[in-house]
Structures are given as C-alpha cells and as structure tokens.
C-alpha cells in the first residue's frame, strides 16, 4: 500500500516542502512495505491488546484541585492578549 503523502501531511497538520515530500514518500513506502510483513501472521479470532496492564476502573474522586495561575498558563508563549492565547483568525466560512 502506498502512502498519499499530500493527504496524510494535511491530516497531520504538517507543511512539507515539495522536495521533502518526495524524499519522505520513498522512505515511508519502504517502511510500509516492511511492516506489511504482518499479513503473514494468522490473527483470526485473536483479541487485540491495546493495554498491557490488565488494569480496569481507574478513576479519581470528583474533588477540585488547584489550577495553574493565569500567568503560568500563558508563560509558554508571547502571543497573548488580555489573558487569552492569540492566534491568527480562524475562518469560519
């Protein structure tokens, strides 16, 4: 199976230069060809493992705990305004 690099990059919110697209496409298609080795394995009736801990029902009590201060929250960026994070306008239409 070949990767549609342009489509996947968009899904992944990555902007690739044209020459990188070609480079990655070649490398990734090699990797994909390798991982397709799994098709050799008979997995009929085999349950999936998405967690190895065997844990279940891990929850916390509904009790409020201290939050970060507004200053701490905003400390990671210089793009802010009146206590809010600021980004370029997101078009709705």
Partner 1 sequence: MKLNELTIKEAVEGLKGKKFSSVEITKACLSQIEKHNPNINAFLTINEHAFDEAKKADEARESGSNTSLLGIPIALKDMYLTKGLRTTAASHVLENYIPQYDATVVQKLKDAGVVILGKTNHDAWAHGSSGENSDFEPTKNPWNKEYVPGGSSSGSAASVAADMAIASTGTDTGGSIRLPASFTNTVGLKPTYGLVSRYGIIAMASSLDSIGHFTKTVEDSAIYLNVTAGNDPMDATTTKNKTPNYLEDLNEGIKGLKIGVPKEYFTQGLDSNIKKNIEGAIKKFEELGAETVEISLPHTEYSLACYYIIAPSEISSNLARYDGIRYGNDRTHFGDEAVRRIILGTFTLSSGYYDAYYKKAMQVRTLIKRDFEQAFEKVDAIISPVSPTPPWKIGEKTDDPLAMYLSDALTVTANLAGIPGLAVPSGFIGDLPTGFQILGPQFSEKLLFRIGHAFEQTKERRVLDI
Partner 2 sequence: MEYQVVIGLETHVELKTKSKMFCGCSADYFGLEPNTHVCPVCLGLPGALPVPNKTAIEWCVRIALALNCKISSVSKFDRKNYFYPDLPKGYQISQYDQPFGLNGWIELKDKRVRIRRVHMEEDTGKLIHADVEKNRSSLIDFNRSGVPLVEVVTEPDFENTQQVTEYLQKLRQTVRYLDVSSADMEKGDMRLEPNISLRSNTTNTTNRSNTTNDLDLPPYKVEVKNINSFRFVAKAIDEEIKRQSEILDRGETPEQETRGWDEKKGTTVSQRTKEESHDYRYFPEPDIPPVILTGDQILNIKKQIPELPDEKITRFMGKYKITDYDADILTRERSIADYFEQAVKDGSKHKLTAKQIANYIINKKPDIEKTVPAELAELILSTRGTTEISSQDLKKAIEQVLLECPKAVEDYKSGKTQVLGFITGKVRALLPPNASTEGIRELIEQALK
Interaction site with partner 1 (CB under 8 A): 1, 3, 5, 8-9, 11-16, 20, 24, 27-28, 30-32, 34-41, 43, 46-53, 55, 58-60, 68, 72-73, 75-77, 79, 85, 87
Q: How many other C-beta atoms can be found within 10 angstroms of the C-beta atom of residue 5?
A: 19
- Are the CB atoms for 32 and 1 separated by under 8 Å? yes
Task: Using CB under 8 A, pick the residue from 39, 43, 53, 78 that binds partner 2.
Answer: 53
Instruction: State in angstroms the smallest separation of the CB of 5 from partner 2.
Output: 14
Please name the residues in contact with 21: beta carbons below 8 A apart, sequence gap of 6 or more: 5, 6, 9
């Amino acid at each position: 199976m070949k990767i549609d690099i342009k489509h996947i990059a968009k899904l992944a919110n990555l902007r690739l230069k044209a020459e990188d697209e070609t480079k990655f496409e070649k490398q990734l298609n090699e990797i994909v060809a390798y991982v397709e080795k799994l098709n050799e394995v008979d997995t009929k009736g085999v349950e999936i493992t998405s967690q190895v801990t065997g844990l279940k029902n891990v929850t916390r009590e509904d009790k409020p705990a201290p939050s970060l201060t507004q200053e701490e929250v905003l400390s990671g960026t210089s793009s802010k305004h009146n206590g809010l994070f600021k980004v370029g306008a997101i078009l709705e239409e």
